Amino acid sequence: MSELPLVYMSTESDLKHRAIAAVMKREGIEVEVQGKKLESGVPEQPYSLEETLEGAKNRQEALRRLGVAADFLVTVESGLHPVDEGVFGCIAVLIERPGGPMYTGLSIDLKYPQEVLDAVPSRYPDVGTWAMEAKGAKEKDPYSIFTGGRRTRQDTIEDAARNALISLLVAEEGDR
């Protein structure tokens, strides 16, 4: 049994688990990450920041109801969001200590190519599935395809997660 702090997530995605573990480690907290896939109550591919946040909050509430003895509860929800003259990826990360306030980190990152927008959700339920089935990606990572490997979905999740985690840590430091 691990003596590391436990992060319990509303997903079983190894990619999302790795991203959260990496952010925690960057902030000096080695963790064990576990999770259970929980429903978002929104479409498989959220199509606005508002829908993405709603899905994240629904998963986070379901996570709380599980009553898992964890040090941190975390949800990562990815979506698409229209911005100016395009549709961009968006990620919401919610993090909290059980019984404490919830902190939100956001990322609006890469513009999606029209070929992807034409295929999701008409032929593929989400852009991660598109990446795997249409482009042969090993993980649900369209970002590495769009950027020639220069940026990954894990990178973008880490951006949003770091924003949420730092807010939590700063608030805890202020409470001391």
> pLDDT tens digit string along 98-110?
999 999 999 999 9
pLDDT of residue 167: 97
Phi, psi angle pair for 68, to nearest 5°: -70, 135
Q: Which of 76, 77, 74, 78 is nearest to 95 (CA)?
A: 74
Q: How large is the average pLDDT for residues 142-170?
A: 96
56/95 Cα distance (integer angstroms): 10
Average pLDDT, the chain: 95
**Residue 105 exposure: Cα atoms within 13 Å on the Cβ side:** 24
108/82 Cα distance (integer angstroms): 10
pLDDT of 1 over the 80 cut = no
pLDDT of 17 over the 90 cut = yes
Kind of pairing between the strands at 6-9 and 32-35? parallel
At 160, list the tokens. 């949003």
pLDDT of residue 10: 98
Percent of the chain with pLDDT over 70: 99
End-to-end CA distance of the chain: 30
**Class of the 6-175 domain?**
alpha beta
pLDDT of 124 over the 80 cut = yes
Phi, psi angle pair for 115, to nearest 5°: -60, -35
pLDDT tier at 60, thresholds 50, 70, 90: very high
What residue spans define the domains of the chain?
6-175
pLDDT tier at 84, thresholds 50, 70, 90: confident
Percent of the chain with pLDDT over 90: 95
At 78, list the tokens. 């990815």
**Would you give the distance in Å from CA 39 to the centre of its chain?**
14
Q: How large is the average pLDDT for residues 22-36?
A: 98
Q: Who contacts 3 (Cβ-Cβ below 8 Å, separation ≥6)?
A: none
CA dihedral sign of residues 149, 28, 169, 56: positive
